[in-house]
Each structure stands twice: as C-alpha cells, then as structure tokens.
Amino acid sequence: MKKIHYITFIDSYSGIYQSQVIDVVRFLNDNFDVDVELFAFVPLRMWKEQKHKIKKNFPKANVFPILGSLSKWKRNKWYFKFISNKQNCICRGPMAFALASEFYKNKIYDGRAAVEAEIKEYDVTGNSELDKIFIDAENTAIKKADFFIAVSRKLVGFWEDKLQKTINPDRYALIPCTLTSLTDNSFPKQETGNTVRIVYAGGTGKWQSFGTVVNLLENVLRKQINTEVVFLSKPNAQIKKLQDKFPSRCFQKWVNHDQVFEELSRCDYGILIREDKITNHVASPVKFAEYLNAGLKVLITEHIGDFSEFTTKNNCGIIIKNEIPLPLEKVETKEKYRLHQLSKTFFSKESPQIKKQYQKLVENCI
C-alpha cells in the first residue's frame, strides 16, 4: 500500500478545507490502495480551536501548532524529523511545499492559486517580507515538484509561463474545486409564482468585486420589478444601503453550511463576479459548482478560470460584460434538474472524469 502524507500550512478549518482537504483525504483512502495521513499546521494562537474543529471532522488528523511567526517558518521543519514517511507528500500551497518537500522522495504540489499574482494584485499578505517568502516558496514548488494538482488549465499555463517551458500533461492532474461532502445532493426546489431570485453567496474580499456585484444587482432591481436579491453573506454596509432602497426585494442572511443548499435552491440565478486579473483567470471558485448543484444558472464575468468557457459551452448561465442582460426569466424545474446533473458530472469527486484524475495522481506515487 502506498503511503502518502497530505500537508497543509496556515490553513484553518472551513467549508473549503472540508471539501479540498478532508474530503480529498477520505476519498483517496476509500477508493484507492493508499494510506493517506493528514498533517495540518495551524497558528499557535488558534491551535486548540483548530485542532478541535479539524479532528471533529477527521479524527485521524494530526494537528500541530506553528512554531514562531510566519517569517520564522523554517523552524517547523523540525517536525519532519519525526513524522516524514520518506515516500510521498501532497503539499497544499507553496508554504507547505517549502516546509516539507526536502523530507520526501516524491513531492506533489497541490496548487490552488497563482500566489505571486495574488500578492501583486491584491496585497494579500500586507507585508513585504512575507511577500518574498511566499513568492520564493511558489517558485520552489513549481520548479521542484514531481507532480502537480491544478484547479484549472489556466493555472497550468501560469506555471508554464513562470518556468518558460511546457509541463507534460502526464505530470499533472486537473481537478477543479469540487463539491463538499456536506453538500445536499437532493433535487433542487422551485418556488411558485413568477418572482425571479438572484443570490450572491460568499464574502466581501477584494478579489470578489463586491462593490461591482451590488451595483449590478441594483440595476436589475430598478429595471425588472419581478426580481428579488438574496445575499448569503455577513452584514455589510453596501448591502444595507441596497436594502434601504428596496426593503421588500433585497434580503441578507448568514446561515450554517448545511443550510446553504436549501437557500440557494429557492433561487434562479447565482452571481459570480471577478475582475479581469491573473488571480481570477486561474481560479476555480467552488461557488460555481454549488450554484449549479442547487439548480441555478450562473451570472458570470469573462475570464474566470475555465468556468466562463464552461458556462458558454454547457449553456448553464449568462456571461456578464457591462451589465446583467435583461429580462431574466425564471428557471423551470426541468432546467434546474439539468444544471444539478451537470454539477454531479463535472464537480463531484465520484464522477468518472474526476476519479480518473485522482487515479493519475495515485499512479504517480512511488
């Protein structure tokens, strides 16, 4: 049986961690002849809380406190003198790779983003010293990885530009952000009546273009009177202003992850807006899969990872340029079911094409 260590560094438990880490470890162990162990390194101040959350959802996880500040990240190499199995490691993100790779023969880089682009375009660290550490770690991962996991073809292209050479398709598995095991897979609902509901689910980070989202939705509310907007987000001043303008047609809710499907499935369209930047060109927002799973058509801007092209090819939404094209029609039950099935085909770990990519990953291990 092949032994694999899956390593995360800095990441804390969330719905994304559940779907992209814990679910992946479980899936590999359940479907292939491998023994995958999870090693999570979390900030010391969050260690007790994160250890409880991660082990609650995956009791076999090994959760360690990060020793010192991020600028002193090399101190944590000490752990690997005791925990390395000397064979295979999957490293989620560049810092995990920089930390662990020298202790394993076969090094797999699980790349989720174009880190240098994120730093330059959105100042994600806010610290020039950390900027250099993260960029150097990404360059090391791209140069020294024996195999890659990529969330989009565009991300592979980003790596090839940095390397100035083509990466052989045999050296990477193409696996978009897939649905979490906590996702409801029941048939999407359809509300009665003729009200068309648009939902925004997510945070208000810079890369999510939240101000643009609000402006686009305000335009729809003004021009199409049978529309309503739902924000599945934490309270926000911009949302409050829109609610003040349209008190009976604009709603804000913050629900637990296991309630998200129920809320989404009451709607007709999910909105996914990103700026035209490299960070977003290579992205794989899991929200896209969640919208489809709930039977929603996606209102999406151009150049979001592989998904804008996917939307056009599969007729599962509308490409937004300067504004949302109107009128928006209610999505009928038959179409909701088709969109739901589309998500299961392309964004479920159990789908044949995703499973084939994981098989490719396992075959690469020693």
Confidence of residue 188 (pLDDT cuts 50, 70, 90): confident
Q: For residue 226, give its domain range.
A: 196-347
Q: Is 242 inside any structural domain?
A: yes
**Strand, helix or coil for residue 300:** strand
Using CA atoms, how far apart are residues 361 and 366, in angstroms rounded to an integer? 11
pLDDT digits (tens, 9 = 90+) for 71-127: 999 999 999 999 999 999 999 999 999 999 999 999 999 999 999 999 999 998 889
Q: Is 156 found in the same domain as 86?
A: yes
Q: Is 142 inside any structural domain?
A: yes
Using CA atoms, how far apart are residues 29 and 35, in angstroms rounded to an integer? 6
Q: Is 214 found in the same domain as 170?
A: no
Mean local confidence (pLDDT), 170-189: 84
Q: Is 223 found in the same domain as 105?
A: no
Q: Is 107 inside any structural domain?
A: yes
Q: Is 113 found in the same domain as 215?
A: no
Q: Is 11 found in the same domain as 94?
A: yes
Q: Is 168 inside any structural domain?
A: yes
Q: Is 338 inside any structural domain?
A: yes
**Strand, helix or coil for residue 246:** coil
Q: Is 213 found in the same domain as 167?
A: no
Q: Is 120 inside any structural domain?
A: yes
Instruction: Say which residues have a Cβ less than 8 Å from residue 108's Cβ, sequence separation at least 6.
Output: 88, 89, 90, 91, 145, 146, 147, 148, 149, 361, 364, 365
Mean pLDDT for the chain overall: 94
Q: Is 191 inside any structural domain?
A: no
Q: Is 137 found in the same domain as 80?
A: yes
Q: Is 186 inside any structural domain?
A: no
Percent of the chain with pLDDT over 90: 88
Of 92, 40, 41, 94, which Cα lies nearest the Cα of 67?
Answer: 41
Q: Is 229 found in the same domain as 91?
A: no
Confidence of residue 192 (pLDDT cuts 50, 70, 90): low
Q: Please check the confidence at residue 206 and state whether its pLDDT lies above 80.
A: no
> Is the preceding omega at residue 327 within 30 degrees of 0, hence cis?
yes
pTM: 0.93
Q: Is 140 found in the same domain as 29?
A: yes
Using CA atoms, how far apart are residues 246 and 226, in angstroms rounded to an integer? 12
Of 45, 80, 75, which Cα lies nearest the Cα of 62?
Answer: 80
HSE of 8, CA atoms in CB hemisphere, 13 A: 24
CATH number at residue 214: 3.40.50.2000
pLDDT digits (tens, 9 = 90+) for 26-57: 999 999 999 999 999 999 999 999 999 999 99
Q: Is 294 found in the same domain as 203?
A: yes
Q: Is 119 found in the same domain as 252?
A: no
For residue 361, what pLDDT is reported? 96
* 13 CB neighbour count, 10 Å cutoff: 24
Of 194, 212, 176, 191, which Cα lies nearest the Cα of 287?
Answer: 176
Domain count, the chain: 2
